[in-house]
Amino acid sequence: MSYLVLARKWRPKRFSELAGQEHVVRALVNALDSGRVHHAFLFTGTRGVGKTTIARIFAKSLNCETGVSANPCGVCSTCREIDEGRFVDLLEVDAASRTKVDDTRELLDNVQYAPARGRYKVYLIDEVHMLSTHSFNALLKTLEEPPPHVKFLLATTDPQKLPVTVLSRCLQFNLKRMSQAVISGRINEILDAEKITYDADAVRLIARSAQGSMRDALSLLDQAIAFGGNKLTGADTRTMLGTIDRRQLVALVAALANHDAREMLRQVEVLDEHAPDYPDVLSELAAIFQKLALLHAVPDRIAEDADDSENLLQLINLLSPEDVQLFYQIAIVGRRDLDLAPETRSGFEMVLLRMLAFRQSDEAPPHTQVTALPDAGNARKTAIQPVIAQPSGTRSEQDWAAMVRSMNLSGMTAQLAAHCSLSARSPGKIRLLLDKDGEHLCRPSVVEKLQSALSGALAEEIKLEFVNPEVDAVIDTPARRQQAIAADRQQAAAQAIHTDPNVKQMMDMFGAVVQPDSIKPVDSES
């Protein structure tokens, strides 16, 4: 007994059965009902979104024995033969296997002849972008002036490869990727009709894994039904797809939110026991951060994510909007660079450690610092006091100095960065305090180079804002720190000279005088 796969069994046979492509259906229905049917149509879009399905329904609408309309009867011999792929006047061509010009000419030689049975002879050319240049040239003249009994339906996943001369002769329709909601709804309808027990988690996993392709979703559904023994559960589907349990990802994000590196690495060990695809794990994490960002911006958006509501509510209060934006950016950039890591797990761990290293939400707000004050009972309590310049040794200053060192800047760009101190940071923006000695360096070209270096280091587009400290305020910049270090080294060198026994003997015996400008630390470049 032969089995018909779900993707073929449940292929739409009427425009009313199509899901997710309403903008295309509306245009075609109106064209058919008004009698204004163009001679050439181009359907573009990714795999499995309905390009050839729409083309076949359109062919039925043109040739149905009840008349040209947007609602073919579906029961006449013409409709049945088109559904079964054996209608003589519907010529389906796979351009990927017929790229030669001779193939195209052979196909077009029959264009001039009237249809054998239907009203129109319909040419359905799939993956039309695979035709050669000579084949396109052979097709061009026919597309421009076709016989009245011929319609061309072209389909492609890569319209950029089509010559503009071909594009200009077609009505173009771009088919959208299916949303998860549309795919889930269709899967539910099919499972109910097939009388297969299922749970919502399994449907959600399949719809998300399909990545906008209805055909891929139904192929995965076939596989999941076979894997689960004619029933669909979230656990079986997750095992089949190799996806990670959502609770493990939530635990991992919670460890990041709590700045708990030890727990974070323990969660990675738990993940590693299931041999996950780490790029997919980063994609899952990015999806969580994206939903958290939406919830920060629109709190009532939780109603649209009912399946994840409990997980998201656990995390929304643990991470600030700034942290969510930072983690999302690091996750997607880390996924792109994961192939460059010596080993995927270590690369994945480095992405997570980068999130912890650059996290800013546990610092005080801009222009404030947190100080610990002793109380009468020798306990410690925290007070927040306003400040004008970052004091020496604060985390912000240390982070800025380390960031400057890591970027390996040179020339005026390095000098400008060295005369600054970190004042505040938010997604896409860094505010710097600029001391007076560095004001002459703040030129547009130099600032642009520093912004570019910071954008590359932080994996996000950075806009710099420079502010001047109050009059007589002293800010602790990398340059000032370097000057202080150099002064200390110079003082130590001078002290070493003056206390050297040989120098003291020469001063006592010959009245020698030490020239201060001649004293240099032994490891000085000069």
The beta-strand segments (E) located in 24-104 are 40-44, 90-94
List the one residue out of 129, 179, 175, 137 whose CA is nearest residue 154.
129
List the one residue out of 201, 245, 238, 203 whose CA is nearest residue 221.
203
Q: Which DSSP string corresponds to 202-221?
A: HHHHHHHHTTT-HHHHHHHH
Could you give the CA distance from residue 58 to residue 122 in angstroms, rounded to a whole number?
9
Could you give the CA distance from residue 39 to residue 354 in angstroms, rounded to a whole number?
57
> What residues have CB less than 8 Å from 100, skipping those under 6 apart?
132, 135
Could you give the CA distance from residue 315 to residue 250 in angstroms, rounded to a whole number?
8
- Mapping DSSP to helix (H, G, I), strand (E, B) and coil, where does residue 87 land? coil
Half-sphere exposure of 24 (CA within 13 A, CB side): 26
Instruction: Output the pLDDT for position 302.
Output: 61
- How many other CB atoms sit within 10 Å of the CB of residue 129? 19
The answer to whether 468 and 438 have CB atoms below 8 angstroms apart is: no
- Three-state helix/strand/coil letters over 123-178: EEEECHHHCCHHHHHHHHHHHHCCCCCEEEEEEECCHHHCCHHHHCCCEEEECCCC
pTM over 0.95: no
Q: In what order do the strands lie in the sheet with 463-467?
A: 420-426, 429-434, 463-467
- Mapping DSSP to helix (H, G, I), strand (E, B) and coil, where does residue 430 land? strand
Chain center to CA of 259: 24
Give the residue ranges of the chain where pLDDT is below 50: 303-306, 361-388, 390-395, 397, 524-526
Could you give the CA distance from residue 521 to residue 526 in angstroms, rounded to a whole number?
9
Instruction: Output the pLDDT for position 307.
Output: 56
Q: Which DSSP string corresponds to 223-260?
A: HHHHHTTS-B-HHHHHHHHTPPPHHHHHHHHHHHHTT-
Instruction: Output the pLDDT for position 136.
Output: 86
How far is the first Cα of the chain from the last one, in angstroms, to the nearest whole number? 91
Instruction: Output the pLDDT for position 522.
Output: 67
- Rounded (5°) CA angle 386-392-396: 70
